[in-house]
Amino acid sequence: MHQKPQLLSRRRLVQAGAAAAVAPKIEFAHAQTPVPQTDIAYEITVADIRSGYDSGQFSIAEFTEASLNRIDQLDGADTWLAAMIETNPDALAIAEQMDEELKAGRSRGPMHGVPVVVKDVFATADRMQTTAGSRSMEGTVATKDAFIVERMRAAGMIILGKSNLTEWSGYRPVLYGWSPRGGLSANPYVTSQTTWGSSSGSASAVAASYAPVSVGVETDGSILCPASACGVVGIKPTVGVTSRQGGIGNGYTLDSPGVMGRTVADAAALLSVIAGFDPNDIAYGDHAPLFPAGDQFLDRVHQPGARDYVRAISDGGLQGARIGVVRSYWGTDTEADRHAENALLALEEAGAIVIDDIYPEGINSLQGTLTASETMGVEFPALFQRFLNGYTSGGPIRSLEDVVAWYDANPDESQWTWSSDPMSQGLYALPEWDDQHVAWINDLHDAARARGIDQVCEEHQLDALVAPTSALPTRWDNTSYFWASTQLAASAGYPSVTLPIGYTENVPAGLHFFGPAFTERRLIRFAAELERTLQARVAPQFLESTVYDDLYAPIPW
């Protein structure tokens, strides 16, 4: 029987400092600049924002201004979080309009006036650019909003700006969390540490209280890893539950726009806004059988705005839940493992039945020849052209050939090498829906679904699976995050939730819940109950350095 350690409470593990759990005791460095902790935007929840509006404590414009002020203070040369690429020049004007609507008795719903940060891959028909972090795309202004941006505007949300990311969302990953337009994102907990990627700025911005919620998109790990690294909640829904229309994607097989927040409830509130059936999403076309909903999408995918994911949260949400532990994802980071073991005890304390050492046999195939790079190599060129045709018809970039020509003319940009760069290779990609590629997708789904999540959940009657989300974030190798547990759920196109569960030397660790298709509500309920049981999350301190690199570096396989 696997021996589990004593459950560590938030007070012992966090408030008493990491010295309660590791030795020797280390004095932390001070932040480079004073971090504002008194403004109204600091560490406030969505519910409290709306309460502030409704009670007249502050207006939408005042709250939006406070959020923009935090960005000015913390995203500049002094602290250089580099979480944002640009802010919305019209944010205050939109906030004032939302105030007028509230005064007139017209509320658009629970997210009316709530600020949000959007990853710089989603089209916004305004004065902001949509560039995927690349200088080759500078000057690209969308002619219409992405589907999920339309949804947020209709809900009365204030789009504060575009967040930083790994350039092209990792399609050509020079450095995770870095883009030429935004620089290298810093972790608000320890600014010398990585944010992982690719939705780096979306996670960092929420952790730093720029906005209570943000939007990212995941191919494999791009929401879960930065959310875990930055100590926030990340939700990646089932592929197709959130529309990819109007986004610069990596691959329609795996891409899933998702959300981040400092609490499960806040992230769920944003998911309630952006989720829902978009008939133009590629998951519901001629190739629907390849996607999780299959031909039954009209029954399985709800209409936009028809589901309130916050209502999934309930007291006793883990009582009787059967949670499988995927031990294959343990063993790469001793501290990530320790916090995950602590979380397993908390799951049992909350009434869950923990079934240990679940082994989905398809993992072997996924860790071998079936990787996300195959998906991206074929699907990115087609998706990119579709984005350009539908959302940026005025240029300046009209094709992948234009991007390649720009890089070729600027060889020092992003370590450009014609012969080996994914951009140039994309010019010779297989045709979209080529028989060879479709066969590869079917093999991927066989490993991740039939011999993976579906198999073990049916065999052991499991409600969800858990594992450490990723290794703790360090700068010792910022070029990859091969220690993440994201691949199985990502390859299946199935939902995931990560939440903070503890800290080592002020560096966050996360736990990953994942399960069968369309179990978002269940995973949200479980994560919220664990969040309430552990009460693990603490606000970032913007420290300069940590000794974690030396004490607990992950094992390089």
The burial of 308, by beta-carbon neighbours within 10 Å (0-12 exposed, 13-18 middle, 19 or more buried), is given as: middle
* pLDDT at residue 481, rounded to an integer: 55
* pLDDT-derived band at 413, boundaries 50, 70, 90: confident
| CA–CA gap between residue 51 and residue 42 (Å, rounded) | 15
> How far is residue 299 CA from its own chain's centroid?
27
pLDDT tens, residue by residue, 467-488: 999 999 875 554 455 579 999 9
| CA–CA gap between residue 175 and residue 183 (Å, rounded) | 10
pLDDT tens, residue by residue, 60-108: 999 999 999 999 999 976 557 999 999 999 999 999 999 999 999 999 9
Under 8 Å between Cβ of 74 and 81: yes
* pLDDT at residue 169, rounded to an integer: 94
* pLDDT at residue 544, rounded to an integer: 83
Q: How many CA atoms does the CB half-sphere of 136 hold within 13 Å?
A: 23
Residue 6 has pLDDT above 80, yes or no: no
Q: Which residue has the higher pLDDT, 373 or 23?
A: 373
pLDDT average, residue stretch 25-35:
41
* pLDDT-derived band at 555, boundaries 50, 70, 90: very low
Residue 173 has pLDDT above 90, yes or no: no
* pLDDT-derived band at 369, boundaries 50, 70, 90: low
Question: For residue 457, what are its two tokens?
Answer: 């959940």
* pLDDT at residue 548, rounded to an integer: 53
pLDDT average, residue stretch 212-221:
96
pLDDT tens, residue by residue, 134-149: 999 999 999 999 999 9
* pLDDT at residue 517, rounded to an integer: 98
Residue 8 has pLDDT above 60, yes or no: no
| CA–CA gap between residue 526 and residue 532 (Å, rounded) | 10
| CA–CA gap between residue 240 and residue 29 (Å, rounded) | 44
Q: How many CA atoms does the CB half-sphere of 250 hold within 13 Å?
A: 29
| CA–CA gap between residue 262 and residue 43 (Å, rounded) | 8
Residue 262 has pLDDT above 50, yes or no: yes
* pLDDT at residue 26, rounded to an integer: 26
Sheet holding 84-87, edge to edge: 84-87, 158-163, 115-119, 213-218, 256-261, 233-236, 496-504, 507-514, 464-468, 322-325, 353-355
| CA–CA gap between residue 145 and residue 245 (Å, rounded) | 9
* pLDDT at residue 376, rounded to an integer: 84
CA angle 293, 296, 300 (to 5 degrees): 65
Closest CA to 449 of 298, 238, 301: 238
* pLDDT-derived band at 3, boundaries 50, 70, 90: very low
CA dihedral 220, 465, 363, 517 (to 10 degrees): -60
| CA–CA gap between residue 391 and residue 246 (Å, rounded) | 7
Closest CA to 113 of 66, 159, 162: 159
Q: Which of 342-346, 433-437, 495-499 has the lowest mean pLDDT?
A: 433-437
Residue 57 has pLDDT above 90, yes or no: yes
Under 8 Å between Cβ of 227 and 512: no
Dihedral angle sign, alpha carbons of residues 249, 252, 254, 256:
positive
* pLDDT at residue 474, rounded to an integer: 76
| CA–CA gap between residue 346 and residue 349 (Å, rounded) | 5
Question: For residue 417, what are its two tokens?
Answer: 């090498």
pLDDT average, residue stretch 428-456:
94
* All residues at 6 or more sequence positions from 525 whose CB lies less than 8 Å from its CB, including other chains: 312, 313, 314, 317, 318
* pLDDT at residue 27, rounded to an integer: 31
* pLDDT-derived band at 29, boundaries 50, 70, 90: very low
* DSSP label at residue 28: P
Q: Which of 168-177, 185-194, 210-219, 220-229 has the lowest mean pLDDT?
A: 168-177
The burial of 314, by beta-carbon neighbours within 10 Å (0-12 exposed, 13-18 middle, 19 or more buried), is given as: exposed
| CA–CA gap between residue 434 and residue 331 (Å, rounded) | 38
Position 525: which residue type?
A: R
| CA–CA gap between residue 259 and residue 274 (Å, rounded) | 9
* pLDDT at residue 552, rounded to an integer: 41
Percent of the chain residues past pLDDT 90, beyond the cut: 77
The residues carrying an active-site annotation are 119, 198, 222
Question: For residue 319, what are its two tokens?
Answer: 């009582």
| CA–CA gap between residue 139 and residue 305 (Å, rounded) | 33
CATH superfamily of 10-547: Amidase signature (AS) domain (3.90.1300.10)
Residue 7 has pLDDT above 80, yes or no: no
Token look-up 């091969």 returns: 482
Residue 28 has pLDDT above 70, yes or no: no
Mean pLDDT of the chain: 89
* pLDDT at residue 411, rounded to an integer: 87
CA dihedral 498, 503, 508, 514 (to 10 degrees): -20
| CA–CA gap between residue 462 and residue 466 (Å, rounded) | 11
pLDDT average, residue stretch 271-300:
95
Residue 183 has φ and ψ, to the nearest 5°, of 85, -165
- Confidence (pTM): 0.92
